[in-house]
A and B are shown apart, each in its own frame.
Chain A
Amino acid sequence: MMAQLKQVRPTVFEPPRADFEILSRAIYGKPLVYLDSAASAQKPRQVVDAMNAFAANDYANVHRGVHYLSAAATQAYEAARGTMQRFLNAAQADEIVFTKGGTEAINLVAYSWLAPRIRAGDEIVLTVMEHHSNIVPWHFLRERQGAVLCWVDVRDDGSLDADALDAAIGAKTKLVAVAHMSNVLGTVTPLKDIVARAHAKGVPVLADGCQGAVHATVDVRGLDVDFYALTGHKLYGPTGIGALYAKRAHLEAMRPFNGGGEMIREVTRDFVTYADPPARFEAGTPPIIESVGLAAALDYVSSFDRNAVKAHEAALYSHAREAVREFDWLRVIGDAAGKGAILSFESAGMHAHDVATVLDREGVAVRAGHHCAQPLMERYGVASTIRASFALYNTREEVDALIEGLHKARKILTR
């Protein structure tokens, strides 16, 4: 048998529209054009079906009864942990803690890892493009324990200068907290480089991967990152579940977070001992049905050639970016090289909410506001922006609908 030559023809990615029932519905009589996936992605039937089937046939609480269904549910829940481990290329499944979402994952690190290790005057390095979920937990430590927040600026094009970040890491730095990808600018940060430089100074790094994990393959071992937080609902999975990856040694050394069932070894009237990680950080009944949905979502995402998806999203972004060049009344915020498929802009003489309202009536869903990134809005001197974010199911025609809608907004709002 002749050895087959590997085909080198470029992959043409066909958006799997049929998997997403919601994409065929109408909004105000117009086809839905959903460009708000950076806020939350739509769910494919593979995810919806997996959750329905599990809830209908296999559901029980986990880690408790000895009965058949409890064992089956526990197996499904722990299998989901394994799926997340492989998705992130973590060394062990028990380096994955399931949380309520990305926000809780970061709060867990702040409370259980950093708070007991930080003293007044110690520093946390973060960038001005962080989402509030990667800012406010550190403000808690500033308010309560006197931690100092050291802000690293971005360049005007939204890119992050790794040298500037490196320079901000000093003898008092206890943690670097940085987005893998900005939810406003689309900037992808040089995470591997940041981690290497921080480690050279003995400082651990937390990456907020809520956007980053959606748009690129994540290899936590390759990155050597200490903590990686992500959420399910932006990854085409359900709400109510996310995960924290943390190196085993960090997890072992972390104090418990919420107290309750599941996270203990033994409870008496006089003392309590705690379970090993990850159970130590998963008090109470976890999001069981959601874990099944999350695993289905990760399988779904992984079923595609992820580079082809990335190229598809990049092509949508370029098409939109080129189209808005002709609008001299529009200012794009975030033009970093290699950025993800997020287009943020402000428009002269038109407020973001008014533009979004006009677009909405055209069936075009975008986000208008500060995107939970107020320090970044301040950095660019804007109160709010309009953000169109592109996902694997979007099409070139939908970008055209956005552009058409912007023409219309201009006509209505500046007449």
Chain B
Amino acid sequence: MNDDLRELYQEVILDHSRHPRHFGALAGATHSGQGYNPLCGDRVAVYLAVDGGRIADIKFEGKGCAISQASASLMTDMLVGRTIAEAEKLMGGFLHLVKGEDAADLQGDDRERLNVMAGVSAFPMRVKCATLAWHTMKSALEGGAAAKTE
């Protein structure tokens, strides 16, 4: 098998896409966001319960390719329990990582867990699939308009 493909579709990714964590709606969400990629039809909705500046609970719903859904699932796993400031730092680091840029701001355990998404950087046409959920999260936290990647 092609090494780039093996890296992109590694088991962790396929597992997240088939068995997404924190999947579903969230009653009592304080923040929510809708993301849509009009080019391929990927959709993601994220729901957050923020309490005292901390993400107390998080859920997502979505439909799309393995990369977009795995990325959303992984994101919810990574962000729950964090402060908004920590979440924003992690989001910045993730975007650097999947674009193949210097992701020095991602350290230790975070870096290790997100590394499964690093293979996306070898597939420029797929980067937007990986970033959709994260952009949606950002706009949910900012209370802004629906996120779009295209």
From A28, A354, A361, B66 is in contact (CB under 8 Å) with A354
A353-B64, A361-B4, A415-B14 given; 20 more Cβ-contact pairs under 8 Å: A28-B2, A350-B66, A351-B66, A352-B40, A353-B40, A357-B5, A357-B8, A357-B123, A357-B125, A358-B5, A358-B9, A361-B5, A369-B39, A370-B40, A383-B41, A384-B40, A408-B1, A412-B9, A413-B9, A415-B11
Is B56 engaged at the interface, CB distance under 8 Å to the other chain?
Answer: no
Q: How far is the CA of A358 from the CA of B14 in the complex (A)?
A: 14
The smallest beta-carbon distance between B7 and chain A, in angstroms, is 11
Judge whether A413 and B2 touch: CB under 8 Å: no
Find B65's partner among A354, A408, A415 (CB 8 Å cutoff).
A354
Find chain B residues with CB under 8 A from A383 CB.
Answer: 41, 63-64
Report if A368 contacts B (CB, 8 A).
yes
In the bound complex, do residue A354 and residue B9 qualify as a contact, i.e. CB atoms below 8 Å apart? yes
Interface string of A368-394 (1 = CB under 8 A from B): 111000000100000110000000000
Q: List 23 A-B contacts (CB under 8 A).
A: A28-B2, A350-B66, A353-B65, A353-B67, A353-B126, A353-B129, A354-B65, A354-B67, A357-B5, A357-B8, A357-B126, A358-B5, A358-B9, A361-B2, A369-B40, A369-B41, A370-B40, A370-B41, A377-B41, A384-B41, A408-B1, A412-B9, A415-B11
Inter-chain contact count A-B, CB under 8 Å? 49
Task: Tell me the residues in window 81-125 of chain B with beta carbons closer than 8 Å to chain A beta carbons.
Answer: 123, 125
Q: A377 contacts which chain B residues (CB < 8 A)?
A: 41
Which residues from chain B contact A353 at a C-beta distance below 8 Å?
40, 64-65, 67, 126, 129
- Chain A positions within 8 Å of B39 at CB level: 369
Quote the shortest CB–CB distance from A383 to chain B (angstroms).
4
Residues of A contacting B126 in the complex (Cβ-Cβ under 8 angstroms): 353, 357
Complex CA–CA separation, A412 to B39 (angstroms): 24
